[in-house]
Amino acid sequence: MTTPGMTPPPPVPVVLAGARGHGRWHVENIRRLTERGLVRLVGICELTPLTEAEYGGELPAQSDDFGALLESTGARAAVVCTPIPTHTDLALTAARRGVHLLLEKPPAPSYAEFRRMADGVAEAGVACQIGFQSLGSHALPAIRELIAEGAIGEVRGIGGAGAWARDEAYFRRAPWAGRRRLNGVDVIDGALTNPLAHAVATALALDGGTRAEDVTAVETELWHANAIEADDTSCVRITTTAGRQVTVAATLCAEHPGDPYVLVHGSRGRITFWYKQDRVLLQRADHGPEEYEYGRTDLLENLVGHLTTGADLLVPPDATGAFMRVVEAVRSAPDPAPLPDTAWRTLPAERRRIVPGVDGLVAAAADTLSLYSELGADWAPYQPQAPRKEVSAR
């Protein structure tokens, strides 16, 4: 914040890598922060330059050479919203030039690539924020305070549920969409690791186990109804050093899509957090339900605050280490199995596939901390397997 009477710092020059697709959201967010005098967009990196019609106005400098663009524009920060396999190399390109980063989630397609990125950024001495926007919600500290006060008793576990719908065009949006690997390079574009990655990261954040060394084991069940390599209907159960389990279930084939949520189970109640809405429901013994809505700190704004006033970063790389252990477990698991033809059907009007009954399974997994196979899904026969033991990070 600027003290009254003081001259505010000049806007931070920013380059955006990846302005199409989800990158359009970043374009609008940068415009919003520009109006507030916090940033100015000095360059866009795209393989195919944007037109003024696409951008919606006069364009800044453009180039398909990220490093050269950073140097020519004098950028102090960069937003990287490019295909998952490119994240590490682009992040290190910026770091070597002293440029600070907002790096979209997931930060990398493997734990090894994540470590290469995080170690390189740390060695370069630049700030890096990972784009889990839900972790900027003011609901998180409020929920932690409720837990600390004993509002729901002893925490027994954390559940996460995401029942979303994606049409067939979604899986054709880019060559890497729905792929586990492309040209021999990891992608891991599955439901839990990309579109519903926030559910995993937010559940881990509420458990308090965000670092890689906080994860002791991961169990996965990965399926797909669509004609893709990666999972579109999956669940994961994570055991943390706190001795609790975090179970997150996800599908992109919901019958009736709804907002994803995280559920904190206590011995005397529960807390439901709809993280896209920043909305919290507290249910506890001997009390009526209480509902709250919170604000949110934008992660690019927080990065700018870190650079100009020394504010703490909300989502530095190490705060996503546990999430990356989950990505690694999904990456190293057997390839997702196709659901039998009897388990799904097509909605022609919406051009998408649905899995009948999956909405209830997703909710039940979050409610009971169970995997699909343990809930009796006839397409997920139970096959006992030892949880994968995760090696502690250095």
- CA atoms of 106 and 270, how far apart (whole Å): 28
Rounded to an integer, the average pLDDT of 137-164 is: 98
pTM value > 0.85: yes
Strand blocks (E) in the chain: 12-17, 39-45, 61-63, 77-80, 100-103, 128-130, 155-163, 181-182, 185-186, 215-224, 233-240, 245-251, 261-266, 269-274, 279-284, 290-293, 337-338, 345-347, 352-354, 388-389
CA 243 – CA 238 distance, rounded (Å) = 10
Per-residue pLDDT at 247 = 98
pLDDT 10s digits, 279-288: 999 999 889 9
- Mean pLDDT of the region 158-171: 97
Where do the domains of the chain lie? Answer: 12-133, 137-295+317-389
Sequential DSSP letters for 211-249: SGGGEEEEEEEEEESSSSSS-SEEEEEEEETTS-EEEEE
Give the pLDDT of residue 120. Answer: 98
Write the class of the CATH domain 12-133: alpha beta
* 247, 239 Cβ separation under 8 angstroms: no
Split at pLDDT 50, 70, 90, the class of 207 is very high
- Collapsing DSSP states into helix, strand and coil, what is residue 320? helix
Tell me which DSSP letter residue 335 carries.
P
| Widest CA span in the chain | 69
List the structure tokens of 394: 């250095």
Least confident of 41-45, 236-240, 367-371, 386-390: 386-390
Give, in order, the Cα–Cα distances in Å from 320 to each of 102, 207, 317.
13, 13, 5
Cα gap 130→103, rounded to integer Å: 5
Q: How many angstroms separate the CA atoms of 280 and 211, rounded?
A: 25
* pLDDT for residue 1 is more than 90: no
Q: What is the pLDDT of residue 390?
A: 47
Q: Find all residues with CB under 8 Å of 286, minimum gap 6, and list them.
A: none
**Confidence at residue 4, expressed as pLDDT on a 0 to 100 scale:** 64
Average pLDDT over residues 243-260: 97
The CATH number assigned to the domain with range 137-295+317-389 reads 3.30.360.10
| 103 contacts 129 by C-beta, under 8 angstroms | yes
Structure tokens at 28: 């609008």
Give per-residue pLDDT as tens, 77-131. Answer: 999 999 999 999 999 999 999 999 999 999 999 999 999 999 999 999 999 999 9
In the beta sheet, which residues pair with residue 80?
17, 103
Transcribe 46-103 into DSSP letters: -SSPPPHHHHTS---EEES-HHHHHHHHT-SEEEE-S-GGGHHHHHHHHHHTT-EEEE
- Mean pLDDT of all residues in 348-373: 97
What band does 394 get if pLDDT is binned at 50, 70 and 90? Answer: very low
Confidence band of 385 (pLDDT split at 50, 70, 90): very low
Structure confidence at residue 380 (pLDDT):
86
Would you say 368 and 248 are in contact if contact means Cβ atoms under 8 Å apart? no
Supply the pLDDT for residue 59: 97
Position 387 scores a pLDDT of 47
